[in-house]
């Protein structure tokens, strides 16, 4: 749940939009040239000394050099220019950070200096401008985040009833997913699990936030989730507009994508507002039913530090959007890698049968005895690095990283993929090997797990990362306990992916087979 955690790759989507749409935008070449002259003047005034980096072409900057998988290109450029270098998109100079040392120095040692967000127009339209994830660093933001952290902590504390209820929601949703998978696999059929994972993850978040779930065939809910998926595909829809805001002023392909992005944001936020408002109508300060009640009780009633009722809807929107995308994407990759590696699947089946048995479902309490299952999850996060580049940061003051000066208000891209695939840190990083996370005693190597960066770090680190890990573990354990998964006999599942809010595997089809009797509860 990479909420406020840079759950997306907004920055990388900027590049993707540039690569695909810069040619049509050239119809306004005279405006580009005018903007170019102004930008060069401003840039030279701001930067006393340009950082290392590739030559930037007029108008397009470095966009055409970065391709469809910018995180890979960023890592290659780091070999030539170092782990701290500069690129340009349109009128914007952007610093790119690569490698464990530079990134952790920035996000942890200089967490305040890198806690900002750029003043992008697309950021301002998300959650009515009250998103904790996309708003800039301020006293108001700190108050918003503190409330979110304390509320989540109360919901997930070891002995809380809400924690037990949350885990029960996950178990129930996982079993519903098992039934859906088995139905799709009737008579040995093969199916694409992608959308079912999205529905399952969204239902867990709706249960957490609203105390209710939706059926997998609920048409309104499925249509809503398609819009959320579209958000993931086009979260950088405002990208060209972000770096060249005047593109809003005349008809062009970029403006069209920007308008679609705006509309789907409004529709999703309207859904959340409706549910939160109904909670307000039945709110009882003595009974906290779910996260909406928790936020209403603190934010609505206090309205301090500049927070208003709108910030309640903002944090709920963040929680749902981030949680469903991160968890569904992780499970999507896990199932692909499970079907692609039948020997590892067999090992996991043997382990879960030994630890759990066939008379009950796995629970969170089994986690300490299912270390190889956890290792499989961590290796999936490292290997796929499915949040490769964080939402852009912005520097809140002048700062120096690895001896290089970065001015205040500089846009910064954080290449998490470069940490997860660093050959100095990981032996054979291109090979999928869960056992790398186990020590000689078969225990989980916590130092290595902490080296995986998928939820960012520092002040913008995901506040829901522990909840997300519990959710992924429980879904995965129950799916393994109840089913085996197979790909087509002669098909080698592709590891290629699509680029968007997260890296998602290309469409693939599997079949599910029930292992023993279908259980209905603990």
pLDDT in tens, 160-172: 777 888 899 999 9
pLDDT of residue 222: 79
Kindly report, residue by residue over 214-266, the tens digit of the pLDDT. 887 787 787 778 777 766 665 543 466 676 666 666 666 666 767 777 888 88
Within a domain: residue 423? yes
Binding residues for heme: 462
Domain count for the chain, please give it: 1
Contact at 8 Å (CB) between 239 and 18?
yes
Domain presence at residue 355: yes
- pLDDT for res 118: 92
Binding residues: 462
Residue 180 clears pLDDT 50, i.e. is over it:
yes
**Residue 496 is part of which domain span?**
10-514
Give the pLDDT confidence of 354-365 residue by residue, as tens digits: 999 999 999 999
**What pTM does this model have?**
0.89
CA dihedral 443, 447, 452, 454 (to 10 degrees): 90
Structure confidence at residue 8 (pLDDT): 43
pLDDT at position 48 is 46
Q: At 5, is the pLDDT very low, low, confident or very high (cuts 50, 70, 90)?
A: low
Q: What is the pLDDT of residue 279?
A: 94
What's phi and psi for 441, nearest 5 deg?
A: -95, 0
Q: Which H or E element spans position 513?
A: strand 511-514
**Confidence class for position 303, pLDDT limits 50, 70, 90:** low
In a domain, 49, yes or no: yes
Element (H, E) at 483: strand 483-486
Poorest-confidence range of 61-75, 295-309, 412-426?
295-309
- Residue 127 or residue 437, greater confidence: 437
- pLDDT at site 304: 64
CA distance linking residue 362 with residue 364, whole number of Å: 7
> Is 12's pLDDT higher than 60?
no
Task: Note the pLDDT tens digit of each residue in 28-82.
Answer: 444 555 555 455 545 554 544 579 999 998 877 888 888 889 999 999 999 999 9
Choose among 257, 199, 260, 201: nearest CA to 225: 199
| Within-domain flag for 263 | yes
pLDDT over 80 at 23, yes or no: no
Lowest mean pLDDT among 24-33, 220-229, 465-474, 489-498: 24-33
Per the domain annotation, does 277 fall within a domain?
A: yes
Is 245 within a domain? Answer: yes
pLDDT exceeds 90 at position 521: no
By three-state DSSP, how is residue 399 classified? strand
CATH number at residue 181: 1.10.630.10
Pairing of strands 92-97, 411-414: parallel
Strand ranges, E, within 359-453: 393-394, 399-401, 404-406, 411-414
User: Does residue 519 fall inside a structural domain?
Assistant: no
Tell me whether residue 274 is exposed, middle or buried, using C-beta atoms within 10 angstroms of its C-beta: 0 to 12, 13 to 18, 19 or more: exposed
- Determine, yes or no, domain membership for 5: no
């Amino acid at each position: 749940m990479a909420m406020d955690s840079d759950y997306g790759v907004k920055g990388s989507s900027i590049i993707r939009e540039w690569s695909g749409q810069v040619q049509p935008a050239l119809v306004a070449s005279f405006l580009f040239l005018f903007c170019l002259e102004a930008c060069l003047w401003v840039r030279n005034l701001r930067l006393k000394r340009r950082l290392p980096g590739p030559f930037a072409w007029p108008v397009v900057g470095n966009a055409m050099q970065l391709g469809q998988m910018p995180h890979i290109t960023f890592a290659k450029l780091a070999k030539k220019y170092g782990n701290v270098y500069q690129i340009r998109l349109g009128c914007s100079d952007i610093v790119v950070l690569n490698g464990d040392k530079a990134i952790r120095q920035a996000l942890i040692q200089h967490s305040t200096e890198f806690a900002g967000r750029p003043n992008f127009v697309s950021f301002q339209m998300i959650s009515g401008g009250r998103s904790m994830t996309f708003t800039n660093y301020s006293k108001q933001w700190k108050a918003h985040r503190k409330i979110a952290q304390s509320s989540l902590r109360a919901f997930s504390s070891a002995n809380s009833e809400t924690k037990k209820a949350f885990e029960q929601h996950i178990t129930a949703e996982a079993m519903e997913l098992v039934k859906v998978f088995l139905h799709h696999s009737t008579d040995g059929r093969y199916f694409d699990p992608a959308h079912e994972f999205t529905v399952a993850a969204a239902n867990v978040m709706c249960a957490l936030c609203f105390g209710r779930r939706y059926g997998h065939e609920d048409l309104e809910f499925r249509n809503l989730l398609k819009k959320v998926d579209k958000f993931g595909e086009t979260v950088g829809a405002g990208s060209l507009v972000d770096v060249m805001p005047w593109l809003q002023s005349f008809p062009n392909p970029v403006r069209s994508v920007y308008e679609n992005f705006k509309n789907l944001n409004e529709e999703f936020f309207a859904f959340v507002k409706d549910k939160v408002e109904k909670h307000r109508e039945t709110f009882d300060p003595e009974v906290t039913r779910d996260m909406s009640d928790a936020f209403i009780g603190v934010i609505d009633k206090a309205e301090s530090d500049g927070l208003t009722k709108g910030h309640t809807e903002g944090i709920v929107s963040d929680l749902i959007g981030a949680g469903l995308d991160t968890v569904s994407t992780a499970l999507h990759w896990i199932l692909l890698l499970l079907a692609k590696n039948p020997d590892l699947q067999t090992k996991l089946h043997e382990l879960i049968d030994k630890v759990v048995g066939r008379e009950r479902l796995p629970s969170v309490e089994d986690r300490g005895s299912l270390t190889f299952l956890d290792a499989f999850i961590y290796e999936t996060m490292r290997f796929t690095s499915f949040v490769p580049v964080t939402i852009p940061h912005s520097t809140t003051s002048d700062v120096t990283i690895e001896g290089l000066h970065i001015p205040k208000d500089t846009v910064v891209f954080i290449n998490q993929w470069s940490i997860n695939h660093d050959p100095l840190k990981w032996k054979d990083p291109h090979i999928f090997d869960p056992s790398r996370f186990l020590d000689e005693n078969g225990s989980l190597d916590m130092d290595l797990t902490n080296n995986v960066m998928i939820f960012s770090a520092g002040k913008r680190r995901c506040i829901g990362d522990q909840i997300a890990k519990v959710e992924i573990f429980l879904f995965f354990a129950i799916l393994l306990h109840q089913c085996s998964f197979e790909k087509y006999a002669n098909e080698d599942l592709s590891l290629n992916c699509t680029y968007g809010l997260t890296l998602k595997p290309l469409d693939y089809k599997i079949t599910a087979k029930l292992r023993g009797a279908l259980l209905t509860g603990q």
